[in-house]
Homo-oligomer: A and B are copies of this chain.
């Protein structure tokens, strides 16, 4: 769930045509089915998944329980951030909550592209800044909001999410047990 969409658009639009064409050339469209796993914990994340349609989820497993860290919709880029950046084994899984269409770019090719078209560094930086900003916000929320407040915030900021995603996943995303979430919802 990345915001700041306009900023990204704007930067991409300001790139020269050659760069944009190159980016198009190194990405490949693929289709996955609901339930398919795009990345497993333990393996190194070497591709980015630019979601074109459908819903993708990032999660890790803690004591046999799935903990959702993010949902990715159209235009979001799904990747296991730390694994991708530092080329370490991922702690996260990435899977498809629906049938999905994604544009895949391999990290190597993206790195090469950045070498060849240095302005892509600006894009990479912007994306990373936005990611960090979102993490800071999540951290703040987790520290200061109660379970109910976190739910309410989600409700106002991303109500569409509740239409499409199972409560189990939403509960783990909000760091609330399924039962508690159900009780919160009962009182509106």
**Is A180 interfacial (CB 8 A cutoff)?**
no
How many residues of A sit at the interface, in one of the four size bands? 20 to 34
Question: Do most interface residues of chain A lie in helix, strand or loop, or is the interface mixed?
Answer: helix
Number of this chain's copies in the assembly equals 2
Within 8 A of B (CB), among A103-143: 118, 121-122, 124-125, 128-129, 131-133, 135-140, 142-143
Closest residue to A86 on the B side, CB-wise? B133
30 contacts between A and B (CB under 8 A): A60-B140, A62-B144, A67-B144, A69-B139, A81-B132, A81-B133, A81-B136, A82-B132, A82-B136, A82-B137, A85-B129, A85-B133, A86-B129, A86-B133, A118-B118, A118-B121, A121-B122, A128-B128, A128-B129, A128-B132, A131-B132, A132-B135, A135-B136, A135-B139, A138-B139, A139-B139, A139-B142, A142-B142, A142-B143, A143-B175
